[in-house]
Chains A and B, each alone.
Chain A
Amino acid sequence: MPDEAKLIEQATGGSVESFSELVALHQGRVRAYIGRFVRNPDIVDDLAQEVFIAAYKTLNTYNGDAPLGIWLIGIARNRALTYIRDESRRRARESGKFETAMAEWRVEDVERHSDAETCDQELSAMESCIKNLPENSARLIREHYFNSRSSVELASSLGKKESSIRMTLLRIRQSLRDCIETRLSCKGA
């Protein structure tokens, strides 16, 4: 396990190699955070890259009071919000009512649920909650999200309708959400 403080010190001095190690350490969380709000995975990565570029440029302002991960997520929040607001405006110009309304609601949703620390806790809670899923549900989640099997593929392999797979995934997510909320409220209490 590399010493993060040392990596930060070296990266602040201009070491790209050290900074790349920091990127490797934190990219999962930053991408997962942005992924909460931005659905296009390519744009998620694009924004995450911008987060790390910005972090590199301002690493000297990081004071170590909060964990580096939280600091990075703070930057990610600003980037994601800017992107989503721009996207919302663009859709308002170019898309129909449905997409426009969805985009506007998404902006509201992001602004309401983008607190860095809460999001970080949610990610941790999500990890724990996935572990506690019944095996069948866990398997479906793994295949769909971690092995990139679409609902069409899963339906074909499991001999079910695609809509049934989608609904099953929705219900699993609902139970995951309940689990996450319970964990967070317990933590808050």
Chain B
Amino acid sequence: MDEHIQELWTQYLSGEDLAPGDERELLAALRADPDLRAKLFADERLDGMLHAAGRGNEDADSFSRSVSDRLAAEGSGRKFISGVRKKVQVEAEQRQPASSTRTTRSLRRSRRSIEAWSPAALAVAAIAALVVLGIVFHVMTQKPPPDVAEKPPEKIQPVPLPAPPIAPVATGKIIGKLAKVEGDVVAIVKEKRSPAISGQDIVADQGLELGANAYANVALPDGTRIDVKPRTAIRQIADNENGKRIVLSAGSLDASVAKQLPDRPLIIETPNAELKVIGTKFSVLAAAASTRLDVREGKVRLTRTADNAAVEVTSGQYVLAEGTLELSVRKFGPPGGVITTKTGPIDSLAFSPDGRWLIAGCYDNNAHLYNTEVDEPPRVLVGHNARVRSVAFSHDGKLLATGSWDKSAIIWDAETAKPLFTLPCRGNIWAVAFTPDDKALLTGDFAKRLRFWDTRTGDELPAGADPKVNEVLAIEYSPSGKLLAVGGTKGNVVLYDADWLKERRTLKGELVIESVSFSHDETMLAVAAGNDVRIWNVATGKLLQTMTGHSQSVRCVRFSHDDATVISVSDDTTVKLWEVTSGNCFATLTGHKDKVNGLAIAPFGDVFVTAGAGQTIRFWHLDKFRK
């Protein structure tokens, strides 16, 4: 490491202001060398850790008292504003040029007198240092015994307080665990609400509420796992002598249920139906007046609450319980699993969030909207003057977006299939995606721009950016909406913090990137790179797998719902299924007779669809190839 840069770094780290030229030099060095940056930030962490460890004991008692005081203040209803935070806020308001951190540190340092140490003082200091160090080490692992502490700890006076605001959960019977929690998940116990965290116990009769970008995985002791999707409310999770019961008020979940005793089945109750499960894999989507059940394995019995009409749904089938319509068990997709089109080649595919609709972007300049439940001609979305390269549904299912090589994108009303706004771009549009809150549409074009459009007005928003991938070919938000991946002709994939479009990481490559796909747990990113599929670790930026086998360009990649499989489609006319852990291809599907461009995973079950130049849309069941 360059000695001068090291010096600048230590100067910065000690809290001193750098001269503008030095700041520029250090900034350039850090920008140019990610390894150097990683090293120096590691140094900063260690420096901070050492400082904090050094402070750890010198005021442990006063710290504990401060916590008690704050608890007392909150308990008595007084609003407690930390003096320090307030000071920092004031500093921020005054827009002082130096950071609050460095200002405070400079003040602290200036308060200290600079004095030479006498030998006696040095000796005393050294002894004191040894004592303090001993205490620090000891307290790191346990409370110091009285004979080691500098002075006997003062007795902390109990502050009269009301009991904690939430009734103790621990008193309830523990029936499971929240194995993973992402985003805004609220645990509801005896009408008390508190933020849920990963690893937290689930007690009998507790509820869960998930926000727009949230996710939770419920793990029951018998091995049952339930993925709870965003915007879902579970009123009750119970386990008693009659079996397990989950009351799903709204939203959707994906369940893999371990074998239950016949007389103690798992029951899922929705607003208008009841599902009886002995042991199987299935998905359920519940709304106020309808329930959709998709079964991937085994069978589930659905009983409609209003009239006790009941059906058994087996592997590969689904049923929709709605109003008093006949309960009809169907196989997902068209008869024979193939839709033959007259649209010219198909470029892209997307499912609506409820799985009812499938949209295809086609070479005939139109998008075609297929009803997956009813065998009827598609609705045609007319508005573009060139091939429709990209299609997307909004997360709430109310809007559609199409991006075309006519250098425009169109936002459509999904219910009426009427255009709402036409968005003029400067280059052919290859990719469109709704932001996680659906308030904006993101377009990526051949003019090397990412552009945001207000979905309520159609106006361009000022947050556009150079995507740093040259021509944009692929964009995708991560399931939680926190990350955005962008790929293009430059060969790299740039991962952005989706909130403020700041680059987080670049995955380097040399081949054109036409498709990117996040795993559902957001730990991996699948990338279509030339003839290969590559899997990257999102957190570390390391390449995990390179899957080779296609003989021509890979056009689209997607993860299966359980992230165990990656599906790829290619110009070589095949669809390949890859095991993520080994990188091996375990199935090559050869139903298409021409290039395959489009791929979409149905929101429920194990179904995925593919389409391409051959003018057919094929429905496949993933589980069929896994066995």
Size of the chain A interface, CB-CB below 8 angstroms: 100
Interface centre among A66, A89, A90 (most CB of B within 10 A): A90
CA distance A12 to B167 in the complex (A): 9
Question: In the complex, which residues of chain A have a beta carbon less than 8 angstroms from the beta carbon of B164?
Answer: 12, 14, 56-60
Q: Does B398 contact A (CB under 8 A)?
A: no
A167 touching B51 by the CB < 8 A rule? no
Tell me if B143 and A176 are in contact (CB < 8 A): no
CB contact list, A28-51 vs B, under 8 A: 28-29, 31-46, 48-49
Give the nearest-CB partner of B31 in chain A: A101
Q: Is there an interface contact between B63 and A45, defined as CB atoms closer than 8 Å?
A: yes
B462 interface residue, CB < 8 Å from A? no
Report if A45-B71 is in contact (Cβ < 8 Å); known contacts: A31-B56, A38-B48, A141-B50. Answer: no
Q: How far is the CB of A172 from chain B (nearest CB, A)?
A: 10
Contact of B54 among A59, A146, A176 (CB under 8 A): A146
B57 at the interface (CB under 8 A from A): yes
Any chain A CB within 8 A of the CB of B153?
yes
Cα of A173 to Cα of B51 in the assembled complex, Å? 12
- Digitize B1-27: 1 where CB-to-A-CB distance is under 8 Å, 0 elsewhere: 000001101110111001000011011
Q: Is A183 an interface residue (CB 8 A)?
A: no
Map CB proximity to A onto B347-365 as digits: 1 under 8 Å, 0 otherwise. Answer: 0000000000000000000
Contacts of A177 in B (CB 8 A): 42-43, 46
- The answer to whether B105 touches A40, judged by C-beta atoms less than 8 angstroms apart, is yes
B67 touches A52 (CB 8 A): yes
Contacts of A123 in B (CB 8 A): 49, 53, 140
Q: Which residue of B lies closest to A2 (CB)?
A: B143
Nearest to A27 among chain B residues (CB) is B63
Q: How long is the Cα–Cα vector from A131 to B130 in the complex, in angstroms?
A: 11
Chain A residues near B187 (CB-CB < 8 A): 61
Residue of B nearest to A51 (CB): B67
Residues of chain A lying within 8 A (CB to CB) of residue B414: none
Question: Given A43-B84, A89-B500, does the pair A157, B117 have CB atoms closer than 8 Å?
Answer: yes
Q: Is B132 an interface residue (CB 8 A)?
A: yes
Shortest distance from the beta carbon of B204 to any chain A beta carbon, whole Å: 14
What chain B residues lie within 8 Å of A166 (beta carbons)? 7, 10-11, 13-14
> Are A31 and B92 CB-contacts (below 8 A) given A16-B71, A63-B174, A146-B132?
no
- Which A residues between 145 and 187 are near B, CB-CB below 8 angstroms? 145-148, 150-153, 156-157, 163, 166-167, 169-170, 173-174, 176-177, 180
What's the minimum C-beta distance from B193 to chain A, rounded to whole angstroms? Answer: 11
A63 CA to B169 CA, complexed, in Å: 9
Q: Judge whether A24 and B194 touch: CB under 8 Å.
A: no
Asked if B84 and A42 make an inter-chain contact with CB atoms under 8 angstroms apart, the answer reads yes
A20 adjacent to B52 (CB under 8 Å): no
CA distance A61 to B166 in the complex (A): 9
In the assembled complex, B60 has its CB within 8 A of some CB on chain A: yes
- In the complex, how many angstroms separate the beta carbon of B368 from the nearest chain A beta carbon? 41
Set B52, B66, B114, B156: member contacting A44, Cβ < 8 A: B52
B162's nearest neighbour on chain A, judged by CB, is A14
CB of A156 within 8 A of CB of B64, answer no
6 residue pairs A–B, Cβ–Cβ below 8 Å: A14-B161, A33-B52, A35-B53, A109-B44, A127-B137, A145-B54
Known: A38-B48, A157-B122. 13 other contacts (CB 8 A): A23-B64, A24-B60, A36-B48, A36-B49, A42-B87, A49-B66, A53-B74, A58-B166, A60-B168, A61-B196, A65-B201, A106-B44, A126-B49
